[in-house]
Structure 1
């Protein structure tokens, strides 16, 4: 079992859903006991986006505000932004990679997969559980063996400044959802933290601590899992490197309570 270390007394509690009825099951294959899963809503009640359309930065500036959050992806020479105000309503975008966003946890995780995934309606530790549409396998967003792709959660201003050629997930998806309405307004004031995992140990850093500790030179040095790490912060982007192995570590953004 991995150890979780918490910095500056910040305790991370992931928000769950109180709905306990048993809607349609998405599947029974899971890498952990079914007792670890909770029911949030029914299978595909939150619809994934299967045919994402993208627009230019200039077009997106007509409806995105500077401080709106986006999930930013720099992958295979392409820069793409997925607005959180859209992801709150869909949680999965089946693109060249699989973009997942747990509205309850505030966690954005991107997987390399050629299979389409859907929202299972279940939760694990209060966070998103996705399902494989070919095998019906259930996979926790935060605890899976799928290959992860680095991703950032930034303000729209920060992302478009750093990546001026970016394209943006279009809000012209169909349906009657109002993406200007936050379906989870009570979560807006939660503090943002980042998990960094090395081996069997995980440390949790609040964004406030990261900004403070990197204010002078943009770098925070620490030890996680017995390995020295370097956390860099610049213009909203967070990079973590294991100094011994020279491997990049993908931090996971979460909301605390």
Structure 2
């Protein structure tokens, strides 16, 4: 692994005192990281691309039966993180042992992945893996928290009471839609080149030794009990938009709908992709939320959504789910 300094520490400022409202300055089609809370919260990538980490504390459910690890009315400290180079949207618990950490942007990259640092110990953490690379907490790993990537418009449809992260930049004469300009990042997304060179033209271009998928193919990865597998979007689509697999002895079902990818525990149903979701066991199920029209809900599986090259940097080429696998379809 290569760790290199690209910017001074905190040159990209984290958001440490986030505010939320029902309103959003951008377009309904803008993507956002969604975290279940009471009410649910959305963190638009348009804002995250200019801050890369939000230190937040989200309220727990008002229903005590939903909170096996704590009491209703309390909150959980989380870090909502985004690496625009790896296109990785990940949410972590900020608790490590008895400590609650506050994260900032170190200015370093580890194999082109954002490196966070915590202000309490100054340890450095790779965003795509959650592992501490160096510092007093070296060897620790942040706990992943369930989240999903969707559009602000779909978030509103799914959660009419939901709240959206508000911008911290912009004002009279400098509207947030101008300050938070996604054009540079969307430009990177559309180019073949990847990594820091692809984003900023710095350093040598990286090679990609696969022909089955592109380096910037979006994958959703699952890691259970040391077993890791990533599911490229085209592979799931070729399986009919529904793919069943086993990771670490756990049966999972992966859904795809355009750029949307989601992973849930497999209940053993015969899912069939439809125009507006999936159908199984006499009900229609949302690909985004895993909730059925009869009120049942699939259990989400913690997952990591990113570009294929970033996943392969962490887990190697053999961890990519092969299209020919017999488990692609029942």
Q: Same fold (TM over 0.5)?
A: yes
Contact 1:214 1:232 in 2 (8 A): no
Take 1:202 and 1:66, find their aligned partners in 2: how far apart are those partners? Answer: 34
1:86 aligns with 2:47: yes
By how many angstroms is 1:233 displaced?
5.2
Q: Any unmatched runs of 5+ in structure 2?
A: 58-77, 95-99, 132-140, 191-215, 269-297, 310-330
Take 1:229 and 1:222, find their aligned partners in 2: how far apart are those partners? Answer: 5
- Alignment of structure 1 residues 74-153 onto 2, 5 Å: 74-75=36-37, 77-96=38-57, 97-113=78-94, 114-143=100-129, 144=131, 145-153=141-149
Take 1:69 and 1:212, find their aligned partners in 2: how far apart are those partners? Answer: 24
TM-score, length-normalised on structure 1? Answer: 0.73
By how many angstroms is 1:84 displaced?
0.3
Contact 1:227 1:243 in 2 (8 A): no
Partner of 1:17: none
Partner of 1:41: 7
Q: Any unmatched runs of 5+ in structure 1?
A: 1-34
Contact 1:203 1:224 in 2 (8 A): yes
Contact 2:252 2:263 in 1 (8 A): no
By how many angstroms is 1:127 displaced?
0.8
By how many angstroms is 1:130 displaced?
0.6
Deviations 1:143-199 (A, max 9, x none): 221121111111222222111211111124458671134343432224321112233
Take 1:225 and 1:187, find their aligned partners in 2: how far apart are those partners? Answer: 34
Partner of 1:240: 264
Contact 1:130 1:138 in 2 (8 A): yes
Take 1:247 and 1:54, find their aligned partners in 2: how far apart are those partners? Answer: 27
Contact 2:90 2:128 in 1 (8 A): yes
Take 1:136 and 1:231, find their aligned partners in 2: how far apart are those partners? Answer: 37
Q: SS of the counterpart of 2:142?
A: coil
By how many angstroms is 1:39 displaced?
2.0
By how many angstroms is 1:81 displaced?
0.7
Partner of 2:246: 223
Partner of 2:183: 182
By how many angstroms is 1:237 displaced?
6.0
By how many angstroms is 1:211 displaced?
4.0
By how many angstroms is 1:141 displaced?
1.4
Within the candidate set 1, 26, 46, 1:64 is matched to 26
By how many angstroms is 1:251 displaced?
1.3
Deviations 1:225-254 (A, max 9, x none): 45432234579461332779x985311111
By how many angstroms is 1:115 displaced?
2.1
Matched pairs, number? 214
Take 1:212 and 1:78, find their aligned partners in 2: how far apart are those partners? Answer: 36
Q: SS of the counterpart of 2:160?
A: coil
Q: SS of the counterpart of 1:38?
A: strand
In structure 2, do the counterparts of structure 1 residues 65 and 209 end up closer, same or farther at CA, with 3 Å as the change threshold?
A: farther
TM-score, length-normalised on structure 2? Answer: 0.58
Greater relative contact order structure (CA < 8 Å, 6+ sep): 1
In structure 2, do the counterparts of structure 1 residues 252 and 157 end up closer, same or farther at CA, with 3 Å as the change threshold?
A: same
